[in-house]
Amino acid sequence: MSDDWGVEERSGVLAWIGRKLRAALWPAMFLACCGYFVWHAIHGERGLIAREARQQEIAEAVAERERVLAELQAVERRVQGLRGDRLDPDQLDERARQLLNMVGRNEIVVPYGPDRRLF
């Protein structure tokens, strides 16, 4: 009674285990490939997480663009008031006083902070 299992029984069990492993090989490889692609679809360079970051950058760029366009329109309105054919005397006077840093004797100066620009 030295050996409970015979050689034939051992080889039969090993053959059964080998068949099961070979049968599980292709599904395991398929699951590994699917896992790889799912991970990259979420965490990769063009994955869902990176998409959210790009959407945030796009929103910031659109807001910056709108701010710059508003500033451009304000400057264009001021430039139109200084054109030779339609010269606005008040705007010309305001701009000259600002550039020369001068005011009249009977005028009141209201200083604005750097964050509250008039134009």
CA distance 102 to 109: 10
> pLDDT value at position 1?
45
Question: 6, 26, 28, 24: which is closest to 16 by C-alpha?
Answer: 24
Stretch 84-113: mean pLDDT: 77
Burial 39-78 (b: 16+ CB within 10 A, else e): eeeeeeeeeeeeeeeeeeeeeeeeeeeeeeeeeeeeeeee
pLDDT digit string, tens, across residues 18-51 = 888 889 999 999 999 999 999 999 998 889 999 9
pTM over 0.75: no
Q: How many whole angstroms separate alpha carbon 92 and alpha carbon 6?
A: 110
Residue 73 clears pLDDT 70, i.e. is over it: yes
Assigned token pair, 115: 């964050």
| Residue 100 per-residue DSSP state | H
